[in-house]
Structure 1
Amino acid sequence: MTPPRPRAFDPTTEQGVLRLSIAASLAMAAAAVVFGFLANSSLIIFDGIYGLIDVVMTWLSLLVVRLISMSTNVDTLQSRLNQRFTMGFWHLEPIVLGVSGTLMIGAALYAAVNAVDALMSGGREIALGPAILFAVLSIIAEIGLAVFIRRVNRSIGSEFIALDGKNWVVSASMSAAYLVAFIGGWLLGGTHWAWLVPYIDPAILLVVCLFVMVAPLGTVRQALSDILLITPVDLQAHVDAVARDIVARHGFLEYRSYVAKVGRGEQIELFFVVRADDPPRALLEWDRLRDEIGEALGEESTDRWLTIMFTTDREWAI
């Protein structure tokens, strides 16, 4: 009996949630472009462009997730792809996260320049009816998706899903800003403040762009740290504590540790310098010691690359 095929939009898996987000983002982006042209609103059109960028980057995130999953699956270790990428695909995760955040910042910067130009040119007349309708529908959909994604990610714990959840929060905040601005413009119409209405769309767009440029900075900074293989302080301290304990209990001379975090993957290399006159041990005994060190470092995971070496030559440990 063949096992049932996994559901494409399974909310209990990382790939299923990302697929769901891609479909929702595509629908929202298409609606934003349509309503943006109907309302003649650069603010709403930017929302559509922002959504399309999010669709592309979420799709790339899904691809990387699938590659990482394949590389850690024993049944596929001999595949041609794995033979070409013997060190795995963890390095792709921070690259995609970094590019995604950078694209968001770049799009917001370009839209901000256009907003400033519109403000200096007398503003932009918009149709407030379609604009208000779009803002209401967007808020309902985006808040619902943000809450759903954050809830399911409590059990999944994915950086990709976490970033996607942040993007939905940003989108909901943008829609709320639209709604306030458009309702304000509707209320000002027919009053002696009506001259301000054309400036509402570019002014709120500028504020939104500034917010969008700040939101991904943390993700970009962390992605850059992973790409540059900057050692996490907490992980290094934990590895050093375990290594010092092993050196003290087994009478080794010293150790060297090399630690990096690449996306969800942890790369740990430990070299122990053993006395040259240390009594010979069977290979099985050395393997048991490796298992002991691995357990002390933490629960075994397919996302941990662990190398443990014993030598009497310090040059091998440098």
Structure 2
Amino acid sequence: MERLRFFSTSDESSVLTLSIATTLVIALIGILFGLISGSFSIVFDGVYSLVDASMSALALAVVRLITSYAVNVDLPRKWRERFTMGFWHLEPMVLGLNSTLLVGVAVYALINGVTNLLSGGHELRFGPALVYAVLTVSACVAMAVFESRANRRIHSDFVRLDIKSWIMSAGITAALLIAFSVGYAIQGTAWEHLTPYVDPAALVVVCAVIIPIPLAEIRQALMDVLLVAPADLKQHVDAVAKRFVERYAFEYYRAYVAKVGRSREIELYFVVPPDMPPKRIAEWDAIRDEIGRAIGGDESHRWLTIMFTSDPEWAE
């Protein structure tokens, strides 16, 4: 099904909008059920979802800016004049901020969970807690599956991160569901004295597991911000450039590449022999077109510069 009510499964903004709305609903339900059941771990789950939703809203704004610039529509002239290099640089910044905030929330909750454990735990109403856990796991799994299918067409880093967030949320709540089920089962048994520790122990375990997950996103965002050349992109561009050096008898080339969010920044300098017979501008442009087609990729998110010179200083 290409369209589902008011949004398209092939549109990044529509998918993120649905995700934000669903996350907000789950967050509010989580905080409400957490207060009713007396569960700090459920309240944490709700707060975690609120942070995630706020970052997803920011990501959605960035997506619209990037898309507007790429397709040359719906962007004020003043913005286009001030951001002549586009808005791709905002993507890794938002991804890094999102992941950093999620780590910060989880670390804070981990400290509170440990403190609660050391102070003897607290009583918990298992009925509302179990209802919340079942409903939330179902919703998180459904959203993760839906976005995974949609991203097969979209190929968005933001949607990919959002899928990870839904999987993380499902894992968090599934762990809570198991803990609450165990706590509910041991009521009225010889192990009932352990029930006050169920909620803080679950919180500690969940936080310890999820804290490392956003660290990979922080690392990737830093690599993008620092313009670290992706090895696969560099190898591909080198292979293309070498073919053209051999085909047109250039002396050598220099390639400079970087990945900035969804964009690919590529600069190619071909050093030609000083005594090479002159070519018309149209002929050089035709060679550029050949190189561009050989490099490939999404042209709307590719910044490609190709220069021919006989002066090596321009290439270094």
> TM-score normalised by the shorter chain: which range applies?
over 0.9
2:96 matched to which residue of 1? Answer: 98
Going from structure 1 to structure 2, the CA distance change for 1:76 and 1:123 (only over 3 Å counts) comes to closer
Query: Counterparts of 2:72 and 2:37 in 1: how far apart (Å)?
Result: 54
Query: Counterparts of 1:70 and 1:228 in 2: how far apart (Å)?
Result: 25
2:40 matched to which residue of 1? Answer: 42
1:74 CA displacement? 3.0
1:316 matched to which residue of 2? Answer: 314
- Are positions 1:268 and 2:272 aligned together? no
5 Å-filtered alignment, 1:282-293, equals: 282-293=280-291
Q: Report if aligned partners of 1:7, 1:16 keep a CA contact under 8 Å in 2.
A: no
5 Å-filtered alignment, 1:103-122, equals: 103-122=101-120
Letter in 2 for 1:106: G
1:222 CA displacement? 1.1
1:16 matched to which residue of 2? Answer: 14
- What do residues 77-117 of structure 1 show as CA deviations (whole Å, max 9, x unaligned)? 77211111000111111111111111111100000000000
5 Å-filtered alignment, 1:57-136, equals: 57-75=55-73, 79-136=77-134
SS in 2 for 1:86: coil
1:75 CA displacement? 4.1
Query: Counterparts of 1:24 and 1:195 in 2: how far apart (Å)?
Result: 37
* TM-score for both structures, normalised by structure 1: 0.95
- Which structure 2 segments of 5+ residues have no match? none
Query: Counterparts of 1:44 and 1:275 in 2: how far apart (Å)?
Result: 69
- Are positions 1:174 and 2:172 aligned together? yes
Q: Report if aligned partners of 1:76, 1:82 keep a CA contact under 8 Å in 2.
A: no
Equivalent pairs counted in the alignment come to 313
- What do residues 281-314 of structure 1 show as CA deviations (whole Å, max 9, x unaligned)? 1000000010011111114511000000011111
Letter in 2 for 1:242: V
- Are positions 1:234 and 2:232 aligned together? yes
Q: Report if aligned partners of 2:34, 2:43 keep a CA contact under 8 Å in 1.
A: yes
Letter in 1 for 2:173: S
Query: Counterparts of 1:281 and 1:219 in 2: how far apart (Å)?
Result: 47
Letter in 1 for 2:104: G
* TM-score for both structures, normalised by structure 2: 0.96
Q: Report if aligned partners of 2:269, 2:308 keep a CA contact under 8 Å in 1.
A: yes
Query: Counterparts of 1:230 and 1:131 in 2: how far apart (Å)?
Result: 46
Query: Counterparts of 2:75 and 2:147 in 1: how far apart (Å)?
Result: 31
5 Å-filtered alignment, 1:96-245, equals: 96-245=94-243
Letter in 2 for 1:52: L
Going from structure 1 to structure 2, the CA distance change for 1:152 and 1:260 (only over 3 Å counts) comes to same
Q: Report if aligned partners of 1:257, 1:270 keep a CA contact under 8 Å in 2.
A: yes
1:136 CA displacement? 1.0
- Which structure 1 segments of 5+ residues have no match? 1-5
Letter in 2 for 1:94: P
SS in 2 for 1:216: helix
1:243 CA displacement? 1.0
Query: Counterparts of 1:222 and 1:299 in 2: how far apart (Å)?
Result: 20
Letter in 2 for 1:291: D
SS in 1 for 2:7: coil
Q: Report if aligned partners of 2:65, 2:75 keep a CA contact under 8 Å in 1.
A: no
1:278 CA displacement? 1.1
Deviates more, 1:85-94 or 1:182-191: 182-191
Letter in 2 for 1:18: L
Letter in 2 for 1:161: V
- Are positions 1:28 and 2:16 aligned together? no
Going from structure 1 to structure 2, the CA distance change for 1:299 and 1:208 (only over 3 Å counts) comes to closer
SS in 1 for 2:305: strand
Query: Counterparts of 2:283 and 2:96 in 1: how far apart (Å)?
Result: 43
Going from structure 1 to structure 2, the CA distance change for 1:218 and 1:180 (only over 3 Å counts) comes to same
Going from structure 1 to structure 2, the CA distance change for 1:66 and 1:8 (only over 3 Å counts) comes to farther
Identity %: 51
